[in-house]
A and B are shown apart, each in its own frame.
Chain A
Amino acid sequence: MLKFNRKLILSMSTAAALALLTAGCMGASTSITHATTEANGKATIDGGSTYPVVNDKTGPYYVDPQVAADAPKINNGRVPTANEIAAWNTDIMPDGTGLPEGSGTADEGSDIYDAKCVACHGDFGSGGGGYPSLSKGNAYDLQKTLTNNRWKDPEADGPVREFGSYWPKATTLFWYIKDAMPHPFTKSLSDDQVYALVAYILNVNEMKIDGIDVDDDYVLNREKLLKIKMPNRNGFEPNIDGPQALDDVRAFYADAANFGAQKIKKGATPCMKNCQAPTAIVVHIKGAGISNFLPPMSDARNLPAEKKVAVNPASVYKNTCEMCHGNGVGPALGNKAEWAPYLAHGMKKVYANAIHGTDGGMPAKGGSSLSDADFKTVVDYLINGK
């Protein structure tokens, strides 16, 4: 593998250098060496650029040639035990790899569904609560809606992308329920329970297995699940199955028209005049659009609204007031005799002096940053001693 990898890197650089020679620089950014084909001349897997290592750089980044050009075989780990691999290797593939034995009926599934799923997914998988629906009716009929597009009328019937009408493989459903459901308590269902739930979801999607309706007492098991032919099994592109899959993917992304992309010829100037269709108009947001943002949108740089924090007058006294009031400077905590002459002026005056400070040496709010209302509670504490 290492040998293959090294070869790949070398020939990629050659391809890149060649591309640079023939095509010259492109646009403003330029000195970055890239290729849109791989070493064997095949297109890249995603239709994009790659940056093979050239002169110890990949694109603009320097790489350590000790690692990039002659990758050392580093192994920092250990071999997992068979049990460890089994514990984590819980995925389920379309050919049945990983799919456990077990069974359950749609009826049993209905009970589990009502106990564990209905709160989020709604009655009979109808959706609600922000969670996906699991069925909108007959899977075979609804598969035909997939060509619907709401070009003009948002109220028109759109495509129905439910498990029954859209998903290409039934194993996906078993795998997801087993690993990721119920949402707040995942990995808590037994294999039999999952079979029962899959049977129930097949039932509400009005699906058949081998021409037989999955009705209430249909017993779903491993063998039957693997026989399910999903109505939309041929509804996806590019092909990803079989030994030629990656070539099929490369071919798909080599043609921009397949995925709605636009290309311009190398060195060509893009359209600069009259680049919109004459029929194009300015379309505004209808009404307020979607605007229930959390928290509400704002770019204000004011101070945040003060959070109401319960003030503990005793601890404010300890930290702020005691150094004077506890040392004979100013009336002492809870000392009625000492407070009497001040109180004779009325509480309004006492509060005002406390808040604004006095020439006699009382600092405003004792130097604290409490609100007026909060500081009044500290004053009350100082007077009453509690």
Chain B
Amino acid sequence: MDNKKSNQEIDRRDFFKKAAASVTAIAGTSLISSNARADDPAIMKHVPWGQTWGDPVTKNRYGVPSKYEHNVLRRNTKLLASGNFRASIAVTPLQESMGIITPNGLFFSRSHGGTAHIDPAEYRLMIHGLIEKPIVLTLEELKRYPSVSRIHFIECPANGGQEWRGPQFNSLQFAKGFMASAQWTGTYLKTILADLGVKKEALWMLAEGSDSSEMGRTIPIDKVWDDAMIVWGQNGEALRPEQGYPVRIVLPGWEGNLCVKWLKRLEFAAAPWYAKEETAKYTDLKPTGKAIQHFYANEVNSTVTSPSPEIDWTSLKDGDIVEIQGLAWSGMGTITGVDLSFDGGRNYVKAYLKGLVLPKSWTRWAYMYTYKKGKELLLTSRATDDAGYIQPTIDQEVSVMGVEAVYHRNAVETWEVTKTGKVNHVEIRTMKKVKDA
């Protein structure tokens, strides 16, 4: 009997299951100690780490994960490899994610000219254009403004964008991992602007990065006066270079691409800029031939994170009580509820929100389920938010957006659980042109 099996068999849940099953099963899995089976060497033997010195506290002045966690990584694919992985993306392993915060080293990384490494001593932020008092700030001056800390996800609007015409990634990491979440620390942009006299003709603001692509986007003034943040902190430490060190803008809930990294300049104007990433890309082409430009917020969305194609249910036994877990998020507000379906979104039951439920933030949800070995399932989750939105079915979404939109796909997602407990990414949809709903 190997280790793993013996561990499983002394599990309490297993006992309850077998107790209900048969008398012989009870005898075999009794909670009463006996010597009827081989002892677990993991218990019986001294372990090497129990008999020798561990590392001194002087090792790893900046801590690193256990060497056993070496497979928990950002990953990429050659499909999205433009520019020798410098106009590219590496995505977050949501299948291993816990809670509503992503460790900084696993935060998805997307750039248009590679990760810039900025000398903080040479960092400057310039704010100019239609304002009374233009200003230039050093990093130290910027960090003297009163600070706020907020937990928000940042999501690339192309999250799930490869799958408008059908599922492609048998993977949670790639199907939904173009996003991550952190507690951001910075100052509200409106706090800096209070003294600068923004003119009333100023309807738009350009945010521009100092990386080699000089990434820039046009932002409407409403967001500037609402919750736009100039951010230097990420989960209690300086921003990582991949997140724009030393300073980025965070527009809670809005496209990751709008949250310009390596921020160098904010300019106010009466007209929008038509930057490359708001014309050539990040526009949603509809079947009418019109494309949505300035599509700001990531809409209400959710996914089952456990099980996943990566970490499936093949090791579960009949009768195991297991927690189905997931994430829900909305860039348009606060999650108000999540429903879970076992038949691909035909019928739903209410799932339960867990932990902190914050605006424009990842929200954990769960549902306790008694696993029936051999039963096929289609697990679909569906979230609602406080702005009144609910995730559409795929048919509902493509009836308006068609299948060529690339961005902002938020229809319900489905995992197929096979008879053996394997998990596959599937889509529940009508495979033809959908008439207007």
> Which A residues form the contact surface with B (CB < 8 A)?
1-2, 5, 8, 26-30, 32, 34, 36, 38, 44-51, 58-61, 63-64, 66-67, 71-80, 84-85, 88-91, 93-95, 120, 130-132, 146-152, 154, 158-159, 161, 163, 166-169, 171-172, 175-176, 179-180, 183, 186-187, 235-238, 240-241, 243, 245-246, 249, 253, 256-266, 270-277, 279-286, 288-295, 297-304
Contacts and interface: CB of A to CB of B under 8 A. Distances in A.
A186 B214 contact: yes
B375 interface: no
Interface in B182-224: 190-198, 203, 206, 208, 212-214, 216, 218, 220-223
A282 B71 contact: no
B73 A270 contact: no
Contacts of B71: 298-301
Given A186-B214, A266-B388, A285 B428 contact: no
Interface stretch (B6-14, B27-35, B134-142): B134-142
Interface stretch (B98-106, B230-238, B394-402): B394-402
B259 to A, nearest CB: 14
- List 10 A-B pairs, minimum CB-CB distance, nearest first: A48-B332, A27-B336, A49-B333, A73-B195, A260-B400, A45-B222, A179-B214, A260-B401, A77-B137, A147-B289
Given A5-B225, A260-B392, A299-B71, 8 more contacts: A71-B191, A91-B206, A240-B294, A264-B388, A275-B345, A281-B428, A283-B427, A284-B424
B87 to A, nearest CB: 7
Interface stretch (B15-23, B54-62, B276-284, B318-326): B276-284
Contacts, number: 425
B297 A46 contact: yes
Given A8-B225, A46-B254, A183-B87, A77 B311 contact: no
A contact patch SS: loop
Interface string B276-306: 1001100111011111111111010000000
Interface in B379-437: 382, 384-405, 408, 410, 414, 416, 424-434
Contacts of A29: 334-336, 353, 357, 386
B429 A47 contact: no
A27 B293 contact: no
Contacts of A73: 194-195
Given A262-B396, A299-B311, A172 B279 contact: yes
Contacts of A76: 137, 141-142, 144-145
A59 B358 contact: yes
Given A32-B386, A277-B430, A180 B171 contact: no
B37 interface: no
A283 B166 contact: yes
Given A1-B197, A79-B136, A241-B272, A59 B359 contact: yes
Given A50-B226, A149-B402, A167-B280, A303 B429 contact: no
